[in-house]
Structure formats: structure tokens, C-alpha cells
């Protein structure tokens, strides 16, 4: 989709087929995008339901009146790709969420790994999680998605192991070449179901974490000959998987 995307809670039009986009989204459409009558926009609930609309009028600074031309549901893509992202330092977490959203990841799980320098505790953790979710929403709009990735609550290592145990492909990126690893590019991919990919922190995945994940059914993989930052690896690996599964074809 090339038309600008705006998020709404529902897509119910009035009896004439019109819808009024107001509030922050309406203000962005009118005062920032400066949309004019006749232009096309897309409204979405971020969960796959969307409407292609024609702009009828801009009213004031924050009301855009549109006509709902078509309303449809984008099916959930297969296989579903979830990235378990170890907490990076600083704002690199938002960078990781932004780029993973842009490439098409379906779900992101923040992970408090043993070697994470960053700690999500109390109010700081809640604020950081809110930032990740806001980043996914804005990146979803920017990349013209109508199904935004879910950003889950922060997970413990045991909770990540439980996710891996239920996956159709459970993969852990692990750059310790002394540990037997296979190139991710050669992994057998499911046509449907769930792919769960674990991206460790800058210090790598700890041995006891690897052991627990392998016990849950995961295999370790390397992405390539170089070692990427944790904020980059998930995006690169997801792009590789999206291409190999056919979701980019």
C-alpha cells in the first residue's frame, strides 16, 4: 500500500459511508500531511482490518472527512515470525523494533537475558515497554502495514523456553563458533505455523540459557561470518526468513 495509513479503533462509517478521522490521527492528517479532497488514505485497526478511503474534506486543524470505498481483512501471514529480542542498551531497542516492524516481523518479545546490561524494573520497565509498543505502531504506519506486530510483555528465560517448545521452528542465533551451529540460511522452514527466533544480548547467549533452549527443542544457528549488534541481528535474520518462506515473493 502506498497511501498514508492512519490508526482507528473501528471502521464503522455513518449511513452515508463517511468516516471522520479526528484526534491526534486527524491532526496529523490535516496539519502535518495536509491531505486534500480526492487523495487516498488507508484506515486500519492495526490488527489486519482496513479501509481504503477517499478524502472528502479537511475541517479545522484535526478533522478529516473520508468516504470508505472498500473495507477488507488482511489474512494473517504464514508462517508467523516471532523475534525474541534481548534488551539492548540505550535507544537501540527502539531501533530494533522499528526495523523489525518495517521488514514484516509479526511479534516481538522483549527478553531479560542473563547478560543484558539494561534492566527493565518497575516504572522504568513499563516506560520502556510503552516505547517499544509506540515504536511498533508508528513504524507500522510508516511502512504501510495494516497488521502491526504485537509487542509482548517482557519474558524471562523460562518463558522464552516455553515459546520455543511450542514453535514449528525454534532458532537461537548464537555466535559461539565452538558450539555446533548451522547457517540460518540452510534451516528447514515450515510452510505454516510459528517460527520463533531468539536474538541474544551484546554479550551473547549464556551457556545455561542455550542448554535450556536446546532442551526445549531449539537449535542454534549463525547468521553469517560477521557478528552483528543485537539491535541489527533480528532484522537481518527476519529478512532472510521472510525471503526464504516466500512471504516477500
Does 207 lie in the same domain as 92?
A: yes
The domain in which residue 232 lies consists of 80-245
Q: What percent of the chain has pLDDT over 70?
A: 97
Does 225 lie in the same domain as 202?
A: yes
Does 111 lie in the same domain as 67?
A: no
150 - beta bridge partners?
107
- 479503533: which residue's cell? 9
Q: Give the CATH number for residue 241.
A: 3.40.1280.10
- 548451522: which residue's cell? 182
Per-residue pLDDT tens over the stretch 57-115: 999 899 999 999 999 999 999 999 999 999 999 899 999 999 999 999 999 999 999 99
How crowded is the C-beta side of 1, counted as CA atoms within 13 Å?
A: 22
- Nearest alpha carbon to residue 101 among 150, 52, 41: 150
CA–CA dist 177, 92 (Å, integer): 25
- For residue 15, pLDDT over 70 is answered with no
Does 14 lie in the same domain as 103?
A: no
Of 51, 73, 95, which one is at a domain's C-terminal end?
73
- Extract the C-alpha cell encoding 148: 502491526
11: confidence class by pLDDT, cuts 50, 70, 90: confident
Per-residue pLDDT tens over the stretch 161-210: 999 999 999 999 987 655 667 899 999 999 999 999 999 999 899 999 99
DSSP state of 117: S
State how far Cα 163 lies from the chain centre.
17
CA–CA dist 187, 205 (Å, integer): 20
Of 73, 91, 110, which one is at a domain's C-terminal end?
73
Of 73, 96, 129, which one is at a domain's C-terminal end?
73
Element (H, E) at 110: strand 107-111
Does 202 lie in the same domain as 150?
A: yes
| Number of domains within the chain | 2
What is the residue-averaged pLDDT of the chain? 93
Does 153 lie in the same domain as 122?
A: yes
Per-residue pLDDT tens over the stretch 205-218: 999 999 999 999 99
Does 202 lie in the same domain as 163?
A: yes
Q: Give the CATH number for residue 11.
A: 2.40.240.20
Does 141 lie in the same domain as 66?
A: no
Amino acid at each position: 500500500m502506498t497511501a498514508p495509513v492512519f490508526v482507528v479503533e473501528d471502521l464503522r462509517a455513518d449511513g452515508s459511508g463517511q468516516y471522520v478521522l479526528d484526534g491526534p490521527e486527524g491532526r496529523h492528517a490535516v496539519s502535518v500531511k495536509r491531505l486534500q479532497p480526492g487523495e487516498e488514505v488507508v484506515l486500519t485497526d492495526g490488527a489486519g482490518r482496513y479501509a481504503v478511503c477517499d478524502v472528502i474534506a479537511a475541517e479545522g486543524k484535526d478533522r478529516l472527512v473520508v468516504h470508505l470505498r472498500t473495507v477488507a481483512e488482511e489474512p494473517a501471514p504464514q508462517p508467523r515470525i516471532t523475534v525474541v529480542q534481548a534488551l539492548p542498551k540505550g535507544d537501540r531497542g527502539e531501533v530494533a523494533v522499528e526495523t523489525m516492524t518495517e521488514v514484516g516481523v509479526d511479534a516481538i518479545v522483549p527478553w531479560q537475558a542473563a547478560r543484558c546490561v539494561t534492566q527493565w524494573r518497575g516504572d522504568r520497565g513499563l516506560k520502556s515497554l510503552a516505547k517499544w509498543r509506540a515504536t511498533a505502531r508508528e513504524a507500522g504506519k510508516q511502512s504501510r502495514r495494516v497488521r502491526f506486530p504485537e509487542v509482548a510483555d517482557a519474558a524471562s528465560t523460562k518463558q522464552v523456553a516455553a515459546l520455543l517448545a511450542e514453535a514449528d521452528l525454534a532458532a537461537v542465533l548464537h555466535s559461539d563458533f565452538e558450539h555446533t551451529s548451522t547457517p540460518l540460511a540452510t534451516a528447514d522452514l515450515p510452510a505454516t505455523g510459528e517460527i520463533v527466533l531468539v536474538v541474544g544480548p551484546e554479550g551473547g547467549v549464556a551457556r545455561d540459557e542455550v542448554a535450556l533452549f536446546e532442551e526445549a527443542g531449539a537449535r542454534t544457528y549463525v547468521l553469517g561470518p560477521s557478528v552483528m549488534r543485537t539491535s541489527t541481528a533480528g532484522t537481518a535474520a527476519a529478512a532472510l526468513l521472510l525471503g526464504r518462506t516466500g512471504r516477500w515473493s
